[in-house]
Amino acid sequence: MKPRVAVVQRRMTHYRVPLFEHLRRLLAAEGIELRVLHGVGTPAEASKDDGAELPWAVRIPTRYLLGGRLCWQPFAAAVRDCAVVVVTQENKLLNNLPPLLSPWRRRRLAFWGHGRDMQAPDPDSWSERFKAWTARRVDWWFAYTDISAATIRAAGVPDSRITVLHNSIDTSALRAAIAAARRDGLPALRAEFGLGPGPVGLYIGSLYAGKRIDWLIESTLRLRNLVPGFQLLVAGAGPDRGLLEDAAACHPFVRYVGPVRDERKARCLAVADLVLNPGLVGLGVLDAFAAGLPMITTEYGRAAPEIAYLRSGVNGVVSADELGAFVDACAGLLKDDAARAEMGRRAAESADEYSIERMAERFRDGLLACLDAGPGLRA
């Protein structure tokens, strides 16, 4: 019988589907069967409209407690025949506790994730201390980025048991779709989104407080005075979508198109001159790279580990964490075509570096190493 490994996700998102498809093929070539298990998200997560189905995955029951602060997803029966089980490191996941605490664990247990809550107001809180302790209870670690790996090492996990995945999306498919959209020409794309002449800034992603949607709107109003004809195109969904709907109703230079995927997402990226994100930067930076566009953001203290991909002055700009500085950075790049083109070229190179194919290969290599290794720390 071929060995089996399992990856458990609290919920399935559309950007994870290509990863698991790639990983399944890579592991099959090694004679290993991949089993993916997932539940459903909270109502707040459902409002982001980023869920997906993976036909061959196993759906597990999901129950949220205390308004979503705790989650119970029993999966033990579904992984009894698996040699390695990869779970997300989230304190809310009660189902992680039995295998973490058991001294008689019969299968390898691995975490994947950030290593800490990047948005936690107090990095020394009891919840973050507990997360650091659990980091040492697993046999292997799949770190999202180099920043994540540094956090995990600081918790006491040796390098020999850490695989850095370089968390990604399917940039190859997105780049092809953007190239196809650009062949239609800018006039057609502008007409499709109701855009007039003038530079286009794009925000694409979830709409919630951490993304600073209020900053996005205010910076657009200020940029109109600095860059004639500037327009903002916004694609996404979330609790703060009402802010965008109100802004679009009041200002014709703000265009809100709702949540987008696949071809529609590619067309948004194809019409833009740069990508704006004054708040939390996550995987959305790879959307900008796939389009060959620089992203402008701020030194926001709660960014996700994927901020490591953005090198200020190289493939994007990180301004001071002040609205005026963010506006000046956007205006400066919009007025400097040569600098914007060079940053765009370097952004496109970064898309090659952080691809879903490479992420899947790293995941495979880490799983093979975990299968070959001895017991982990379990400190």
For 217, the domain range is 171-353
Q: Tens digit of pLDDT for each residue in 150-167?
A: 999 999 999 999 999 999
Split at pLDDT 50, 70, 90, the class of 201 is very high
HSE-up (13 A, CA, CB side) for residue 110 = 30
Let me know whether 45 and 140 are in one domain.
yes
Residues 362 and 313 in one domain: no
Residue 99: inside a domain, yes or no? yes
Decide if 378 is inside a domain: no
Say if residue 161 is in the same domain as residue 82. yes
Give the SS3 label for residue 183: coil
Judged against a pLDDT cut of 90, whether residue 103 lies above it is answered with no
Write the DSSP assignment of 287-347 as a string of letters.
HHHHHT--EEEE--TT--GGGGG--BTTTEEEE-SSHHHHHHHHHHHHH-HHHHHHHHHHH
How confident is the model over 14-51, as pLDDT tens digits?
Answer: 999 999 999 999 999 999 999 999 999 998 888 888 88
- Is there a domain that residue 52 lies in? yes
Number of residues that this document lists for the chain: 379
Q: Which candidate, 378, 362, 371, 364, places its Cα nearest to that of 107?
A: 371
| Residue 203 counted as domain residue | yes
100 and 191 part of one domain: no
Q: How many CB atoms lie within 10 A of CB 289?
A: 32
Contacts of 298 (CB under 8 A, 6+ apart): 278, 279, 318, 319, 320, 321, 322, 325, 326
Residues 123 and 209 in one domain: no
> Residue 277 above 80 pLDDT?
yes
pLDDT (tens digit per residue) in 331-374:
999 999 999 999 999 999 999 889 999 999 999 999 999 999 86
Question: Could you give phi then psi for residue 88, rounded to 5 degrees?
Answer: -80, 140
Number of separate domains in the chain? 2
Answer yes or no: is 377 within a domain: no
User: Does 257 share its domain with 324?
Assistant: yes
Same domain, 226 and 272: yes
CATH number at residue 51: 3.40.50.2000
Are 251 and 363 part of one and the same domain?
Answer: no
Residue 9: its pLDDT value, please?
96
Long-range contact set of residues 28-31: C-beta below 8 Å, sequence gap at least 24: 30/364, 30/368, 31/2, 31/3
Residue 235 belongs to some domain of the structure? yes
